Structure 1
Amino acid sequence: MSVVADTRLVILQSVQPLTTDVSTLARSLTVLTDGSPDQVARSDVPAPAHVVRRPRDEWRQYLTELDRDTAVTTNDEYLLAECARLRHHLSLRAVTPTPIAHYLDKVSMKSQLYAAGIRVPAWVPVDGPVSRGMPPPPSLEFPVVAKPRMGSNSRGVRVIDDAPQWQSWTADKAGQAGWQIEEHIDAAMFFVDAFVHDRTYTPVLVGRYLGPLLPSSTTHVLGAVSVDPHEEIWRRAVELGRRVADCLGTNGRFATHLEFFDTGDDLVALEVSARAPGAMVSEMARVVSGHNLETAHLAVQAGSPLPRFTDTGRHAAWISLLAARGQTLQDPPDSMRTTLTLHHLPPPRGTSAGRYIAALGLLVADDVDEVRLDVDRCTAHSWFH
């Protein structure tokens, strides 16, 4: 999809890279970053042709000096509030929900949802900075999950199994503020993606994660598989997603990604964002609905009409393959029935130890059972030597 031909589009980026090709979104497109210009897009997607690096305190002046018909948007979790402020300064229509804190601050988020009768994990905010040796919350039992109040992509999240690990965590984080401790839930994990457009919630994709998002030492494949719209969990997920959006705010134009647990007795809302999802989930959405969610999010906030999301009858899965430095990627499993597109990723900069996501894969087929079977094959496969 493309934006109005005369629009100059500026995409703000800082922490989270773009995960899709944005070159067709506008006649004139600039990515404005306060980070490294060669890191604004994930390595498997085309790099934007025009990237401008400025300290963030200079962004307002930079945008003010551009054409009046400039649109400003972002899909970076860490810039949603900044984007809203800049759009207000430029007298652009508000597209970010208000108050945005309900989508950014995980404690505020859970407080709002709990008050609305939506089940969330039990949580305890850490008042002030973490202190070495402070006791764990008495209302929670191990294991617990330590999380930053703000952030995404599991950055800084840690599962703490026992008292010695708790003591280690408090020593490591001593002096740092902005933390919360959360109940650990051991249950199947799902997500629902949708588009909110002027208080209307349009579901796009429901998916099931292959396992926990924090990999153990024995985990080699992360990912998710789409849920057939005829399954009961699809209906329940959409119902939960709509309730969550209504609670936190639908006064805007944005993609939304809700992660939740299915305990068997109830659905438990974990976290929700007011942006398109990462990894290859936006591409999964393109397969099942006809439109990439990240592209749609950026385009609609820049002025395009809401695209028509339709059930294509196709199904998709995404896999992330974990490897250690120096390992070599092997061929996919034999006899796969799906179409597999695999992207190699370089090791992250500045680190020399530990595993990293060395490849991303998208599996596509018309039969959801074929997708699930091939995901099982991929999970059991030895990908690296």
Structure 2
Amino acid sequence: MTKATRRGFSAGAALTVLGLGKAASAQPAPVKIGVIYPLSGNSASAGNYSKMAIEVGADVINNGNAELAKIIPLAKGGGLPGLGGAKIQLIFADNQGTPAAGQNQALRLISEEKVAALIGAYQSGITLTASAIAERHGLPFLTAESVAANLTERGFKWFFRTTPVAIDFARAYSTFLKEQKAAGQKVGAIALVHENTEYGNSVASVIADQFGKDGLPITQKIAYSANSSDVQPQVLQLKEKNPDVVIFISYTSDAILYAKTMKELNWKPSIMIADNAGFNDPAFLKAMGSTVEGLVNRSAYSGGKPGSVPAIFNELYKAKAGVELDDVSVRGLQGFLVLADAINRAGSTDPAKIQAALRATNLPAEQMAAGYDGVKFDDKGQNVLASSVVTQLQGGKYVTIFPKARATANVILPYKGW
């Protein structure tokens, strides 16, 4: 090889190396988002369905969807344009249904995985501990489902919540029941049955306060230990007092147990209301749907017209999960989309810039997968545009019955059950 040839080879090799270097650096590092959900334990079904919903959202952002791109800018695909096309990498963590595990997983995701932000953790008691770790480390934490009132009363600066909360549900239940009273249904005696966790205690307290203001009598309050193996004593208390309305605040395994025990003891109220959670889990519907026909529930998801954001996401989700979006899974999806939007607008994985972008969020209703009026956070991190509808289980599916402007079916009472 001549010197000239060697010089040409060296120059060519250098250019090749430079070219490879440019190609290698063309795709920026992925943006890691930590996702904390119950992937095992008594709420594993709900956690895994939410996991799949969030995966659908990430896939849309990373790879695009032509229909959604007409409405949601990030659905054009190619990753996050604000970060040069960086793809989203979801790092999942199993909170195992316990506050301690949720706390430990949050710490691991922050210190070892170096995530840019966290989302989770379904159960309010776990969100309480996991978000405290994020606050301590100065990292954004968004909860899409946890509704305990005190979560946004801690003075936290890094905590954000997209879901409607207990006061929204309480007002919806109250207005719904007053409408039923005007239509001739009995609502003179109301029982509250709730698990004694952060979620159950908080929601029950808010409902009781609101009903008291609205002149709806709570005549019986039954608190029980979460994940119980026997709820016969509680159902016998209900049977003895025989209230007109009973409202359950329970996760999946307890919801199934209550439905079975009520059938075994042959007792049912005229109106049975579930505060979502376990009663909305596809696993509950599969196991007990025919036993609880006519159950009233609340939801942030009421479907949508063909071509709408909820309808398109529902088809994508069905293809992945084999079931339709429900209240919990759609709230998880919506929360993730809000977080991704903020990271994109921040144009950075700097926690402070993401925090500032979250505070500036102002998303319109037409971009919502969930049935919210939009997303805009107050100074406590609560979405002030969150909203909820009342649904009823009819023919094995939840249909919207309240408010009338959004209803897709008429309410059928009294509660049928089995």
Q: TM-score w.r.t. structure 2 length?
A: 0.32
Q: Which has the higher contact order (CA 8 A, sep 6+)?
A: 2
Q: Structure 1 length normalisation: TM-score?
A: 0.34
Instruction: Return the index of the structure with the highest Cα Rg.
Output: 2
